[in-house]
Structure 1
Amino acid sequence: MDPKKALKNIQAGKPEPVYLCYGPEKYRRRAFIQALSDSLIEPEQREFAVSKFDLSETSLDSVLEDAETLPFMVPRKLIIASNALFFTGAKERTKIEQPIDKLLDYLKSPVDYTVIVFTVDADKLDERKKIVKLLKDRDAALPFLSLNPEELQTWVYKQAQNLGFSFSNEALEQIILYTGGDLQALSAEIEKISLYVGESGVASCEVVDQLVARSTEQNVFILIEDIVQLRLERAFVILEDLFMQREEPIKILMLIARQFRIIWQVKELVRQGYSHAQIASQIGLHPFAVKIAEGQAKKYDNAKLGQIIAQLADLDFQMKSGRIDKVLGLELFLLKLAA
């Protein structure tokens, strides 16, 4: 079931006794659980009404025992059990045995005063398992998957609209690029920008540049995009900023090499007919990053990408063996790449 539909049922007073929230998008998942809590539990009752378990450390027995225990001083309870890997095909690293049969028995006659929410950071569930089939049949298995690039742009637009300002088209793309499409980071940066531009303000690229914090990995991602698009002056400003932050040139080189390997993988998987979402799942990227990498891949053929990756490996050897100055080596490589 779609999480929005599930939330409507909850707000209408028709919650399921058990929910399974899965997928990599933690921000939307947390928002759903918060909305569920707001609908079921009064704020002053949460200390007694909400329990949390980590199933990598705790047995399912403890969760079910808590679920069946009568609430103390509150009319109903909410139990949140994270790391529920037994719903997936992943191999569990813990030695704790999880009695899934007991959960199946519980679902035959669940108590009406407890709602259990299981969470797991996985794109897919193991649909061969009885418990997964049962929860899917009950519309209680809720996917929280990464937004595709179009959905992400709509999400950013609406967040800004709710705060009373807007982005220019270029700035909207830019803030997504700078945050890598991470909703938690986007939410924080959008709120910061709203305070800066004020009511009915418009956030420009300059505002995004000035206010949005970027990690080293994200700076390298942007640097490669600037080189590919022949924005050399800006690329070298980013490189200089990284040096001023005392980032190790070999680390920067490693991240550049990683990005070109990603470009090569995306190019090959697109050629094989994979969608952005499938590629993102296969190589562990956000769909927006896949979209950018696909655009970058169009600038190079496979032979050129192989040549670039070989040059990066050679430069890594020269830098580590002291045959070339690290800063100079990086600058020369980027100039050669742009040429």
Structure 2
Amino acid sequence: MVPVTVFGSILLITGNAELLAERTRARAVSTITAEQPECEITTATAAGLGPGEIAGLASPSLFSAASALVLTELQDLPEAAQEELLAYAQSPSPDIAMVLVHGGAGQKGKKLLDQLRGQASVTEVKHEAPKYERDFTRWVRTELRELNTRIDEEAASLLVAAVGQDLRALAGAADQLAATVTDGAITADLVRRYFGGRADVRGFDIADATIDGRIHVALEQVRWAAAAKVESVLITGALASGLRSLARLADAPPGLSEADLARHVGAPPFKIRILRRQLQGWDTRSLASALDAVARADIDVKGGAADPAFAVERMVLQVAAARTA
């Protein structure tokens, strides 16, 4: 929830659900402009800010007595600027609205977060992404409820199985379905009509979870995929594709631009950041070992094994075990 007013206070947005954080940030900006239409809003990233720069960014202009600062990537704020921010949080200006967005899912910047949480001026809104299949299904139902549309458990589960676990994609699918129905109810048949051909997306969700080392999520998705009759070869293919992309990234010449790196890897530019993060858990030897496990599983699911589902689960365990971190 966004506070009724954010002037004279600090709104701290945390958690690993980027879409939900962006929504809260947008609502906060709307609240600011509704309260002070002439307010000048400055948006900046925290990385590289030095002493005194936060005060400069938040200072009112000649044209408005009120100002607002939206500071993103708080986890990268340098230590010297952290001291300034904490000092400000102890005595915030009534003419300044401040929105802080911490985009890290790990421990980076935790000390600063803990110190900010101890300040009376700080209100935290935390958004954690759904973790399990059932959580995504629940999220879809809530999303559609806010769009004044009903969806039952079966239809919501089918939508997650077809679209995958990216909240942006699910939100877009929910918008599309809500705009389609006329009686406010979404059925499993309607989901199949619009998204039934996208079950192969499931393979890439499993691949990402496996490469990330989120073994419990990967295995849960493998079993969900088996129940949804997703072809095992789609899963082995997706995992092979993900690992090959990591191998190409690891082998890329130094100094390439983002566009050239994307061409070298064979992935869209937006995917490079994800691959870089994933590559932190891998080296040349572990990637080779994982690719061998996928190759064996691919042979098994194409006819060499009596139980393809077991072959896929074993592959997921072997690939996850190959990670270096």
Q: Shared fold by TM > 0.5?
A: yes
Aligned residues: 252
The structure with higher relative contact order (CA 8 Å, sep 6+) is 1
CA deviation after TM superposition for structure 1 residue 172, in Å: 0.7
**Residue in 2 that maps onto 1:51:** 42
1:61 paired with 2:52, answer yes
Indicate how the Cα distance of structure 1 residues 29 and 161 shifts in structure 2: closer, same or farther if over 3 A, else same: same
**Residue in 2 that maps onto 1:183:** 167
Q: Is the 8 A contact 1:104 1:131 kept in 2?
A: no
Letter in 2 for 1:331: K
Secondary structure of the structure 2 residue equivalent to 1:73: coil
Return the TM-score normalized by structure 1: 0.58
**Residue in 2 that maps onto 1:337:** 308
CA deviation after TM superposition for structure 1 residue 25, in Å: 0.9
Q: Is the 8 A contact 1:227 1:334 kept in 2?
A: no
1:78 paired with 2:58, answer no
Alignment of 1:1-339 (within 5 A): 4=1, 7=2, 10-11=3-4, 13=5, 15=7, 17-42=9-34, 45=37, 49-59=40-50, 61-67=52-58, 69-86=59-76, 98-123=80-105, 129=111, 132-138=114-120, 139-147=122-130, 149=132, 152-205=136-189, 207-208=191-192, 210-211=194-195, 214=198, 218-221=202-205, 224-225=222-223, 228-229=226-227, 231=229, 234-235=230-231, 239=234, 252-253=239-240, 313=292, 316=295, 331-332=302-303, 336-338=307-309
Q: Is the 8 A contact 2:54 2:84 kept in 1?
A: no
Q: Is the 8 A contact 2:12 2:100 kept in 1?
A: yes
Q: Is the 8 A contact 1:53 1:63 kept in 2?
A: no
Q: Provide Cα deviations, 1:108-151, integer angstroms capped at 9, x if missing partner.
A: 43222111222122245679847732433424343222245565
Letter in 2 for 1:332: G
Whole-angstrom distance in 1 between the partners of 2:115 and 2:9: 16
Whole-angstrom distance in 2 between the partners of 1:187 and 1:338: 30
Whole-angstrom distance in 2 between the partners of 1:250 and 1:194: 33
Letter in 1 for 2:23: A
Q: What CA RMSD, in Å, does the superposition of the two structures yield over aligned residues?
A: 4.3
Whole-angstrom distance in 2 between the partners of 1:145 and 1:123: 9
Whole-angstrom distance in 2 between the partners of 1:314 and 1:126: 33
Whole-angstrom distance in 2 between the partners of 1:78 and 1:180: 37
Q: Is the 8 A contact 1:24 1:121 kept in 2?
A: yes
Q: Is the 8 A contact 1:71 1:113 kept in 2?
A: no
**Residue in 2 that maps onto 1:307:** none
Whole-angstrom distance in 2 between the partners of 1:213 and 1:54: 40
Q: Is the 8 A contact 1:23 1:124 kept in 2?
A: no
CA deviation after TM superposition for structure 1 residue 209, in Å: 5.9
Gaps of 5+ in 2: 207-220, 245-276, 279-288, 311-325
Secondary structure of the structure 2 residue equivalent to 1:41: helix
Return the TM-score normalized by structure 2: 0.60
Q: Is the 8 A contact 2:15 2:103 kept in 1?
A: yes
CA deviation after TM superposition for structure 1 residue 22, in Å: 1.6
Whole-angstrom distance in 2 between the partners of 1:61 and 1:332: 66
Gaps of 5+ in 1: 88-95, 243-248, 258-283, 286-309, 319-325
Whole-angstrom distance in 2 between the partners of 1:76 and 1:164: 36
Q: Provide Cα deviations, 1:10-67, integer angstroms capped at 9, x if missing partner.
A: 22x3655323222101122112122211222149947x62111112244463232121
CA deviation after TM superposition for structure 1 residue 192, in Å: 0.7
Asked which structure has the greater CA Rg, the reply is 1
Whole-angstrom distance in 2 between the partners of 1:16 and 1:153: 38
Indicate how the Cα distance of structure 1 residues 168 and 123 shifts in structure 2: closer, same or farther if over 3 A, else same: same
Q: Provide Cα deviations, 1:208-239, integer angstroms capped at 9, x if missing partner.
A: 463378596533557944664383xx527x84
Whole-angstrom distance in 2 between the partners of 1:317 and 1:113: 64
**Residue in 1 that maps onto 2:316:** none
